[in-house]
């Protein structure tokens, strides 16, 4: 089941895609009161709605998709250097990334409002001279998780989405940590949908790719993560409650601009189009303003 946030005649709503992925079934048609993705996650409490026959649908061509979860309640929890090939390219590029391996690297990414599929990303070129992309699998928690064992992680996952962890490399290196350089307005496109976890489980093996202006830059599979999702949920929930609606960005594979040889390194510029794809979830495409 694919959940979306949409805008219809200026009004925001949530719903599920029909099987053909040509229209949206609004939550109200499923007997739900939710108007936002946060409300939908709370209302479903880890369950899934049933879709009755003959419900009213909104054609995708008549509405606009918004970010899958436009305003998460809290900052996004991010994994750094969670694909071995990316950890190697980042360490090669800048000593600030040369962390001791052995434990997961966690950090936060602030967002005021996630960018919708097709939305424009402000490159903040007045303060950023090294704008980069990072396609990532996003995990959305479905019910409050505290002291969850890895074996039980699947029942706490609402679903999966695509996140572009847009990054200002000069800021994240200058300030010796990643919070500021990854938290500028528009630096978090999320979408196009959230795929419920009932079929994918807690260890999805999905092809993950990123293209810039049609050129393939990142190409991997989520099974290449160093710390997998059950591990992450067990470790974090042992000390902090992961509230329903929490979003976790699970790290990016190699192929970011930072990882290129300095002589050929191509950071993003105005007009560039970034296309993030994850198998079974869809495409998240955005241009730089």
Q: Are strands 190-196 and 2-8 parallel, antiparallel or unpaired?
A: antiparallel
Picking from 63, 61, 30, the residue whose alpha carbon sits closest to that of residue 47 is 30
Q: Which of residues 251-270 bind Mg ion (CB under 5 A)?
A: 252
Task: Judge contact between 40 and 70, C-beta under 8 A.
Answer: no
C-alpha span between 246 and 264 (Å, rounded): 38
Least Å distance, CB 87 to Mg ion, is 11
CA 72 – CA 91 distance, rounded (Å) = 31
- Strands (DSSP E) contained in the chain are 2-8, 11-17, 23-26, 58-59, 64-65, 76-80, 105-109, 120-121, 131-132, 135-141, 157-164, 167-168, 190-196, 207-212, 215-221, 247-249, 273-278, 282-288
**Residues 188-227: x/- map of binding to Mg ion (CB under 5 A)?**
----------------------------------------
Q: Please identify, among the stretches 49-57, 197-205, 247-255, 262-270, the one whose residues bind Mg ion according to the rule CB under 5 A.
A: 247-255
Q: Which of 89, 165, 186, 277 binds Mg ion (CB under 5 A)?
A: 165
CB of 135 vs Mg ion, minimal distance in Å: 9
Q: How far is the CB of 29 from Mg ion (least distance, A)?
A: 36
Q: Give 49 or 189: the residue with its C-beta nearer to Mg ion.
A: 189
Minimum CB separation from Mg ion for residue 182, in Å? Answer: 7
Q: Judged by CB under 5 A, which stretch of 170-178, 204-212, 221-229, 249-257 contacts Mg ion?
A: 249-257
In the complex, least distance from residue 244 CB atom to Mg ion, rounded to whole angstroms: 23
Site for Mg ion in 129-148 (CB under 5 A): 134
CB nearer to Mg ion: pick between 106 and 231: 106
- Identity of the residue, 183 or 252, whose beta carbon is nearer to Mg ion in the bound complex: 252
Half-sphere exposure of 157 (CA within 13 A, CB side): 29
Q: How many residues bind Mg ion (CB under 5 A)?
A: 3
CB 250 within 8 Å of CB 81: no
Q: Is 2 exposed, middle or buried (0-12, 13-18, 19+ CB in 10 A)?
A: buried
The least distance separating Mg ion from the CB of residue 150, rounded to whole angstroms, comes to 22
Determine the interface stretch with Mg ion among 64-72, 144-152, 162-170, 222-230 (rule: CB under 5 A). Answer: 162-170
The SS3 call for residue 42 is helix
* Residue 66 is a binding residue for Mg ion (CB under 5 A): no
Residues that bind Mg ion (CB under 5 A): 134, 165, 252
């Amino acid at each position: 089941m694919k959940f979306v946030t949409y805008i219809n005649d200026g009004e925001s709503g949530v719903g599920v895609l029909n099987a053909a992925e040509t229209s949206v079934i609004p939550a109200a048609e499923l007997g739900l009161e939710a108007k936002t993705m946060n409300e939908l996650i709370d209302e479903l409490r880890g369950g899934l709605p049933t879709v009755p026959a003959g419900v009213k649908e909104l054609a995708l061509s008549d509405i606009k998709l918004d970010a899958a979860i436009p305003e998460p309640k809290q900052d996004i929890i991010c994994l750094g250097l969670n694909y071995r090939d990316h950890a190697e390219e980042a360490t090669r590029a800048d000593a600030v990334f040369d962390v001791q391996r052995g434990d997961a690297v966690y950090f936060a990414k602030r967002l005021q409002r996630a960018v919708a599929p097709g939305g424009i990303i402000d490159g903040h070129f007045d303060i950023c001279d090294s704008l980069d992309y990072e396609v990532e699998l996003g995990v959305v928690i479905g019910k409050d998780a505290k002291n969850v064992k890895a074996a039980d992680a699947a029942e706490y996952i609402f679903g999966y989405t695509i996140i572009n962890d847009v990054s200002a490399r000069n800021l994240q290196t200058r300030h010796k940590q990643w919070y500021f350089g990854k938290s500028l307005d528009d630096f978090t496109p999320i979408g196009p949908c959230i795929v419920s976890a009932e079929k994918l489980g807690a260890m999805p093996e999905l092809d993950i790719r990123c293209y810039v202006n049609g050129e393939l830059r990142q190409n991997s599979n989520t099974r290449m993560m160093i710390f997998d999702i059950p591990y992450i949920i067990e470790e974090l929930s042992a000390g902090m409650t992961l509230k329903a609606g929490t979003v976790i960005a699970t790290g990016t594979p190699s192929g970011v601009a930072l990882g290129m040889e300095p002589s050929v390194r191509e950071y993003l510029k105005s007009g560039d189009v970034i296309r993030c794809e994850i198998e079974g979830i869809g495409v998240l495409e955005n241009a730089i303003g």
